[in-house]
Amino acid sequence: MPMQKKLLSGLFWVLLLNLLIKPFWFLGIEVGVQNAVGAEEYGFYFAIFNLAYIFNILLDLGITNFNTRNIAQNPQLIDKHLSHLLTIKLLLLAFYVVVTFSTGLLLGYGSRQFYLLVFLTFNQFLNSLILYLRSNFEGLLLFKWDSVISILDRVIMIAICGALLWLPSHPTFKIECFVYAQTAAYLLTALTALAALISKTGFSRLHFSRPFTLAILKQSLPFALLVLLMASYNRLDPILLQKLSPIGVGNYNAGIYASAFRLLDVLTMFAYLVSVPLLPIYAKLIKSPTAELTSTTRIVTSLMLVFAVTAAIALSSMDSQLMNLLYTEHTEESAAVFRILVYGIIPISMTYVFGTLLTAAGRLRQLNIFALCTLVINIAVNLLCIPRWGAVGSAWASLIAQCFMAIVQIWAAMKIFHLRPSWSHILKIALFALIIGACNVVPAQTGLWWLRLTVVGIVALVMAVLLKLIDINELKTIINNQEQQ
């Protein structure tokens, strides 16, 4: 019981602090930066950032997940693993830089693009290093340290960028200032985490072991490939926009896309946080009777769909108001992209449910095949749509790709685990969506978007309970069953 209390307390603080800080970072600082530098300049940065982000998994290859599990089971090995794994991280940095810069050469990057890429690749390394160091705190059950480190980089960036953006005496803000602020924040956070970890362990020096390194990399490659493919079809759109748009508007289109994508990124974060406990729960239920797995999957799917359908329908009808609230320029262009892109939260939420189930079952081969097909679809639709419709075409490419990934994962999970769809449940979801849509139409003439959002939120909660899409008693039963196992 004391261990469970400590675990729940740590998880509570990590989630709470991130929910307090991350939305402010996304909607306050990043929006402020784009307003300060303009859509074209931010689009220039955003495409390069996404290139660095896509190959981020090459800096980790699943090491962080392996380390969390291993240190929790064998805390006495932390000194040995810290010295070996830090060495592997440095070797992976060299590989990551070669791959990223080679891709930049293939894309025809110029001197300024490579200049930013130097800092952004270093920032991705520092971010990956922070996540690895945090995995040691998690493994040692030092949840207070993990909570602090999880938000420290964002707090520092908010302080630096906030001062540059909003103090009366600040100079003209350039996108390079944003990148430098990230570097300073990540570096300070990584040094803080490393110093705290060294003080709690006997770590003294780096050590390289070829057999240990090969063993780690071999077991991590399937997972690393999956993350790389998923990052590609999620983050490739701005890069393709930059290259496939008519001459002179590539950076502008990427910036418009970034404006709309930012809110989807925030919604995805909430969906991710809801899905956090799914992996260990599914790992247990896979060995249980099919009825129990089916029941749990239905409940989690309902929770995700209530959130995703409500958010997608409500926010898409307020596209112009939201973009005008957040941005100072090009708001109508951003709204046109957002009203399409926001519906991606529905298939993304389903991917968190059924992709997690397939991952818990070790079905990485199927997931990699699905992700590769999704990437091909994303690229193909972008090639067709970007030259004609620009950022709007790329939004359609993203939505189509996300829907394909969700559908094939649902199909695979139903086939593998013999899950049976409930037509009454499907009809309830459809009725729920119709009611939410109607709530958006009726008060739309008032122009009070905040009132409309409040009404939709209340109606969604009430209808979810009345239709038993959210069944309080059933949720309590599942939680009690998990505690007894």
Judgement on whether residues 211 and 345 belong to the same structural domain of the protein: no
**290 in the same domain as 228:** no
Q: What angle do CA 269, 45, 231 make, to 5 degrees?
A: 40
- Do 55 and 141 belong to one domain? yes
Angle (deg, nearest 10), helices 210-235 and 237-244: 60
**CA distance linking residue 452 with residue 247, whole number of Å:** 41
For tokens 């139409």, the residue is: 441
Specify the 3-state DSSP secondary structure of 65.
Answer: helix
Q: Tell me whether residue 126 is in a domain.
A: yes
pLDDT of 336: 94
- The answer to whether residues 433 and 313 touch, using CB atoms and an 8 Å cutoff, is yes
23: alpha, beta or left, given left = phi > 0 and alpha = psi -120 to 50?
alpha
The pLDDT value recorded for residue 24 is 81
267 is a domain residue:
no
Total domains in the fold of the chain: 2
The answer to whether residues 201 and 54 belong to one domain is yes
The CB density around residue 415, as the number of other CB atoms within 10 Å, is 9
Q: Number of C-alpha atoms within 13 angstroms, CB side, residue 97?
A: 12
Whether residues 359 and 213 share a domain: the answer is no
CA torsion angle for 383, 389, 390, 394 (degrees, to 10)? -60
> Measured between alpha carbons, how far is 465 from 473 in angstroms, rounded to an integer?
11
Give me the pLDDT at residue 44, please.
Answer: 93
**Assigned domain for 147 exists:** yes
Q: Is 313 found in the same domain as 228? A: no
Q: Which residue has the tokens 């849509």?
A: 437
Q: Which of 200, 235, 270 is the last residue of a domain?
A: 235
Among residues 176, 206, 235, which one ends one of the domains?
A: 235
Whether residue 228 sits in one domain with residue 325: no
**Residue type present at position 225:** L
The distance between the two most distant Cα atoms of the chain, rounded to a whole number of Å, is: 67
Q: Is residue 277 a part of any domain in this protein?
A: no
Give residue 102's pLDDT: 96
Please check whether residue 169 lies inside any domain of the structure: yes
Give the span between the Cα atoms of 56 and 121, in whole angstroms: 8
Q: Are residues 113 and 223 in the same domain?
A: yes
Selection from 274, 240, 479 nearest residue 381 by Cα: 240
- Per-residue pLDDT 10s for the chain (485 aa) are 444 444 445 556 666 666 778 778 877 888 899 899 998 999 999 999 999 999 988 898 878 767 766 676 677 777 777 888 888 899 999 999 999 999 999 999 999 999 999 999 999 999 999 988 888 877 676 767 777 888 899 999 999 998 888 876 656 789 999 999 999 999 999 999 999 888 877 666 777 778 877 877 777 778 788 888 888 888 899 999 988 998 888 899 999 999 999 889 888 887 776 666 676 677 777 776 677 788 778 888 888 899 999 999 989 888 888 898 888 888 999 999 999 999 999 999 999 999 988 887 888 899 999 999 999 999 999 999 999 999 999 999 999 999 999 999 999 999 988 887 778 888 999 999 999 888 876 554 455 667 777 888 888 888 888 888 877 676 555 555 544 44
Which residues in 366-413 belong to E strands, given as ranges?
none
Residues 311 and 227 in one domain: no
pLDDT confidence of residue 183: 97
State which amino acid sits at residue 460: A
| Helical residues (DSSP H) of 140-174, grouped into ranges | 143-166
Could you write out the DSSP letters of every residue in 200-227? TS---S----HHHHHHHHHHHHHHHHHH
Is residue 398 a contact partner of residue 378, using CB atoms and an 8 Å limit? Answer: yes
Q: Are 207 and 289 contained in the same domain?
A: no
Contact 321, 444 (CB under 8 A): no
If asked whether residues 352 and 474 sit together in one domain, one would say yes
- Say if 242 falls within a structural domain: no
Domain presence at residue 17: yes
d(CA 6, CA 143): 8
| Count of all residues that appear for the chain in the document | 485
Question: What is the extent of the structural domain holding 109?
Answer: 1-235
- 65 and 1 share one domain: yes
* Beta carbons of 117 and 48 less than 8 angstroms apart: yes
Of 430, 379, 90, 70, nearest in space to 229 by CA: 379
Rounded to 5 degrees, φ, ψ at 342 are: -65, -25
Does 97 map to a domain?
yes
Q: Are 334 and 325 in contact (CB under 8 A)?
A: no
CA-CA distances (angstroms) from residue 449 to 322, 323, 348, 436?
A: 8, 12, 25, 15
Is 126 within 8 Å of 183 (Cβ atoms)? yes
Q: Collect contacts of 272-279 with beta carbons under 8 A, ≥24 apart.
A: 272/352, 273/15, 273/18, 273/19, 274/303, 274/304, 274/307, 274/352, 275/304, 275/352, 275/353, 275/356, 276/11, 276/15, 278/352, 278/353, 278/356, 278/357, 278/360, 279/356, 279/359, 279/360
Whose structure tokens read 């968190």? 352
Per-position b or e across 60-70, b if 16+ CB within 10 A of its CB: bbbbbebbbeb
Contacts of 77 (CB under 8 A, 6+ apart): 70, 71
Looking at residue 294, what is its pLDDT?
A: 81
Judge contact between 65 and 356, C-beta under 8 A: no
- Among 168, 201, 235, give the residue marking a domain's end: 235
Closest CA to 236 of 257, 222, 252, 256: 257
CB 49 within 8 A of CB 120: yes
